Amino acid sequence: MRGRYVLSEAALGLWRNVTMTIAMIITMAVSLAILGASGLMFMQVDKMRDLYYAQVEVRIFLAEDVTEEERAELDAALAADPLVDSYSFQTSEEAYEEFRRLFEEDAPDLVEVTTPERLPESFQVHLTDPEQFAVIDQRYGSAPGVDEVVDQAGLVEQIFSILNAAQTMALLTAAIMAAAALMLVGNVIQVAAYSKRREVAVMKLVGAPNWFIQTPFVLEAVVAGLLGALVAFAALVAGKAFLLDGPLEPLTVLLTPVPWRNVLLTLPALAAIGAVVSAITGWITLRFYLKK
């Protein structure tokens, strides 16, 4: 009986103040959706890092006037180097083939004026640890017959620093939205407590237990938090279904695809965060508001 009272009071409280309730749910949902999205991104970043570094290589371009001995010496040095995982040699012809494959469609003129001789020979080196580029550069950069050592990891790092910045921005936005959402929660609880001040006064007077007085209010906050989480989850599912698997599909070349399992995993996480944070906010508000 008392359980039913608590539930109906909570529902009534949310309904009585319905515009504020909706505002609270929307801000909560936006905040949780951004949080969920950056959570998903966070899960991807590690995977992307592994994937990228597996493909990343260091190129040692040889000078045009490199001699047979110099090339053989480099070959031997690379073969013996513990930092080198694997390496291959690319002749000028092979470099030209690759060049043609890459630019034939977009820049046929460029391909026309380029001859194989103009493209340098190179060693393509996979490092055991991609972070060790500096050592490789030092070791081979000034070796005889070497023109230049180029590290693709530098490019990768740029991509990651962009991703990191985007993520920080997202988290900051989520935090600001969360602050707004929690202020709305506090406000909704205050309005609810005010509109029920007579009941609360009588309940205190006749000795109703504190949990009984407070639970309907806290429950209001929790329900709003859960609804916000549900809306946020729906937004993430829609984003995955209609954006990532839709028009943004080609992006998977650059970003690893987000698996459905991770998207579904955000529901319990967001629901728990939404409910617990709202409950704590509601409870703290009550402590200030229902004192005595």
Stretch of residues binding other proteins (CB under 8 A), selected from 71-79, 85-93, 207-215, 263-271:
207-215
Question: Positive or negative CA dihedral for 95, 98, 102, 107?
Answer: positive
Q: Is 207 one of the binding residues for other proteins (CB under 8 A)?
A: yes
Residue 206 interacts with other proteins (CB under 8 A): yes or no = yes
- Alpha-carbon gap, residue 74 to 145, rounded angstroms: 9
198: contact with other proteins by CB under 8 A: yes
Smallest gap from residue 219 Cβ to other proteins (A): 16
**Candidate residues 76, 128, 158, 212; the one interacting with other proteins per rule CB under 8 A:** 212
- For position 4 contacting other proteins by CB under 8 A, the verdict is no
Task: Check binding of 208 to other proteins (CB under 8 A).
Answer: yes
Q: Which of 26, 203, 244, 284 is the binder for other proteins (CB under 8 A)?
A: 203
Instruction: Choose the binding region for other proteins from 115-123, 127-135, 145-153, 195-203 (rule: CB under 8 A).
Output: 195-203
**Site membership for other proteins, residue 204 (CB under 8 A):** yes
User: Which residue type does 177 have?
Assistant: M
By CB under 8 A, is residue 288 in contact with other proteins? no
160: which 2 tokens?
Answer: 């990651």
Answer whether 123's CB lies under 8 Å from 89's CB.
yes
Cβ-based nearer residue to other proteins, 15 or 65? 15
Q: Which three-class secondary structure state does DSSP give residue 232?
A: helix
By CB under 8 A, name the one of 162, 169, 202, 248 that touches other proteins: 202
For the record, the structure tokens of 200 come out as: 């609360």
Beta carbons within 8 Å of 268's beta carbon, 6+ residues apart: none
Q: How far is the CB of 290 from other proteins (least distance, A)?
A: 12
Contact 239, 37 (CB under 8 A): yes
292 lines the binding site for other proteins (CB under 8 A): yes
Segment near other proteins (CB under 8 A); pick from 28-36, 50-58, 111-119, 198-206: 198-206
* Structure-block tokens of residue 45: 């970043």
Total chain residues near other proteins (CB under 8 A)? 18
Interface region with other proteins, contact rule CB under 8 A, candidates 76-84, 138-146, 205-213, 223-231: 205-213
Contacts of 92 (CB under 8 A, 6+ apart): 116, 117, 119, 120, 121
Contact residues for 258 (Cβ-Cβ < 8 A; gap 6+): 40, 43, 44, 240, 244
- DSSP labels for 87-132? EEEE-HHHHHHHHHHHHTTT-HHHHHH--GGGSPPEEEEEESSGGG
210 part of the interface to other proteins, by CB under 8 A = yes
- CB 213 to other proteins: min, Å: 8
Residues forming the site for other proteins (CB under 8 A): 1-2, 5, 198-199, 201-210, 212-213, 292
